[in-house]
Amino acid sequence: MAMESYIEEKRITAAVTDVRWERIFLYVDVRLEFKSEREREGELCFYAVDAMYYSPTMFQVIGVTDDVYHLKLNVTNGGENVCVPSGEYRILICRDDCKMAECETDTSILEKMQDFSRTFLYSMRNRAYTVTFFVEEETDTLPFRFCVLSAAKSDISFPSKKTLRGKIQLLDSIKVTWGSSKNIIRKIYAFYSGLYASGRKRTILFMSEQNDTIASNLKAVSDRMKERGMEKDYRILYSARSAASSPQSVMSWISLVKKVAQSGIIFLDDHAPIFDWLKLPEDTKLIQLWHAGAGFKASGYSRWGHVGAPPAASCHRQYSFGIAGSKEIAPFFSEVWGINDEQVLPTGMPRMDEYLDEAYRKEKTAQLHEAYPICKGKKVMLFAPTYRGKGKRFAYYPYERIDFEGLYDACGDEYVVLFKMHPWVKGKTPIDKKYKDKFQDVGKYPNINDLFYITDLLVTDYSSNIFEYSLMRKPMLFYAYDRIQYSFSRGFHRDYEEAAPGKVCYTFAELLEAFRKKDFEFEKVERYIELHFDYIDSHASDRVIDWIALGQLPEEIVEDLERVRQRNAHRKALDFLPEGYVRDYKLGCAVKEGEET
């Protein structure tokens, strides 16, 4: 779509006055000056335009203060679930498909331009995604530019003559590339995909690459499908492996690939590394039913640049949808997965259907009092923090951070304490014999949600278990002795103290004092519930089935998704090429007519 340009008329002039970062979000402030009051009328759009005058993304306007427009851009998702591509960019301001202004650089930030740059390391720090800022040279003005570059580790030594050994290494490299196990699996998948293409629409796969069993949200949805008799109309398959942490046999890989190829809908419970490199066809929907309700700790793309963050193209990019507890918190999940907010559906957590069932609650409460007689006639503190360490293999909890004797004394005759460590933390909590009458390890109990029924006070840190527990409307305490270190290594979606639905303590002495005084800041629980739950019922599994499996999305969600599709289509249809310029594909930029190579 050809565009009119009023840039030369200077109806609007624009200058970037500030640049800053928050995790993967780039914030840019642009001060506008209007030639007349008439020029203020109408919506303005801010496009990132590359050297070929295409726009792969646009900035979101998040506010205006005294003609300063506050812009926001997620560099890991420019709107179509991919990183902003490598290239050099200018910011063009448009109204009604007319180019109104190009952003210049305010002189107040010239000396700070390099300080605004950011490098995100990933893939074991062997790759980098960089965003740098500069002013275009050899011009009479100060055009604002930023450069995005996706780079890989390279040899910086002087080049040497190619020896026989070097040629052999090259041949070996080619052999590995073309004959690797991943490429073999891709070929097997392609074969099965063609074989089963016609039957995919009616086949659903429940899949975990993190666990050997189908559990949590996957199990809840699967069980509900069976209760509704969907096995008559759909073929339901299962695959559960600990492939993310343990090697798998050849037959296991073939079995998985065959099931994937047959499936039109694949429900996941977490990241599945196979989909980091195995591209699914458009007629297969990949759905993330992640267990986390909404804790604090960042993961996925929200912690890009840290060790363990996903590559630029990953499993997350292939999600058709993910789920959350409410529309309000959808951005926390879309940030993690690198997808659009509109793709995060507020169905609620299916595993909570059982949890909210009153008959189930009564049954489990009786069983727990029988299993743990220490709790009878006492109030129960559940000590349930998340793990420390880099992933499942190295997970631990520093028990030296717990003052067992002080906690024992603080319990008095009123409380007992159950210790439920994260499932990845191996071994039992080291409870001395002299504390056995008030302390008990319940690490082997399979479902922490059941324990919430008999819990009167939850002590945790950054765990997502607060999501389920909040609906008990009981107090919580947060023991965050390593908040600064944890914030640096894992990061938070939001301000920790403000978001925590209870009092935050940074030493165990503070925790004990709050416990003794019953200083829980309990009023924060209700605010947390209001933010995180659109539905408090036992029908989340039905919503997942109806909205996703049966394609019966609510009308407002369909409209939101269509609005995003149309916005992306419109942006890609715009032609920002200046009059008298042509695109030189050899040079990778636009040049004046007659100067192309």
Run means of pLDDT, 10 residues per run, the chain, 597 residues = 90 98 96 94 96 97 97 97 97 96 97 94 92 89 96 78 55 54 93 93 96 94 98 97 90 96 97 96 96 75 87 96 95 95 97 94 96 96 92 89 97 97 94 96 94 97 92 96 74 77 96 97 95 95 98 98 97 94 91 77
Tokens coding 501: 């639905």
What is the pTM for the complete model shown? Answer: 0.89
- The set of residues, in sequence order, having a beta carbon less than 8 Å from that of 410 and lying 6+ positions away, is 512, 515, 516
The CA distances from residue 116 to 52, 113, 135, in Å, are 24, 5, 13
Superfamily of chain region 182-349+549-564 = CDP-glycerol glycerophosphotransferase, N-terminal domain (3.40.50.11820)
What is the distance between the alpha carbons of residues 354 and 223, in angstroms, rounded to a whole number?
11
What is the distance between the alpha carbons of residues 257 and 278, in angstroms, rounded to a whole number?
10
Tokens coding 592: 């004046």
* Per-residue pLDDT at 166: 54
* Per-residue pLDDT at 322: 97
Give 525-547 pLDDT, tens digit per residue: 999 999 999 999 999 999 999 99
353: exposed, middle or buried (Cβ count in 10 Å: 0-12, 13-18, 19+): buried
What is the distance between the alpha carbons of residues 503 and 517, in angstroms, rounded to a whole number?
12
Length of the chain: 597
What is the distance between the alpha carbons of residues 325 and 327, in angstroms, rounded to a whole number?
7
CATH number of 354-500+509-519: 3.40.50.12580
* Per-residue pLDDT at 201: 92
Residue 521 C-beta-side C-alpha neighbours within 13 Å: 16
Tokens coding 50: 């590359």
Four-point Cα dihedral 80, 67, 5, 41, nearest 10: 100
Report the candidate in 204, 219, 318, 325 with the shortest Cα–Cα distance to residue 271. 318
Give 286-329 pLDDT, tens digit per residue: 999 998 876 666 789 998 988 878 999 999 999 999 999 999 99
What is the distance between the alpha carbons of residues 27 and 501, in angstroms, rounded to a whole number?
29
What is the distance between the alpha carbons of residues 501 and 508, in angstroms, rounded to a whole number?
18
- The set of residues, in sequence order, having a beta carbon less than 8 Å from that of 423 and lying 6+ positions away, is 443
What is the distance between the alpha carbons of residues 200 and 345, in angstroms, rounded to a whole number?
23
What is the distance between the alpha carbons of residues 288 and 246, in angstroms, rounded to a whole number?
22
Interior angle at CA 71, CA 68 and CA 72, nearest 5: 160
What is the distance between the alpha carbons of residues 326 and 309, in angstroms, rounded to a whole number?
25
Tokens coding 170: 């090259």
Tokens coding 31: 């001060």
Report the candidate in 336, 279, 344, 334 with the shortest Cα–Cα distance to residue 310. 336
437: exposed, middle or buried (Cβ count in 10 Å: 0-12, 13-18, 19+): exposed
What is the distance between the alpha carbons of residues 2 and 11, in angstroms, rounded to a whole number?
20
Pairing of strands 203-208, 235-240: parallel
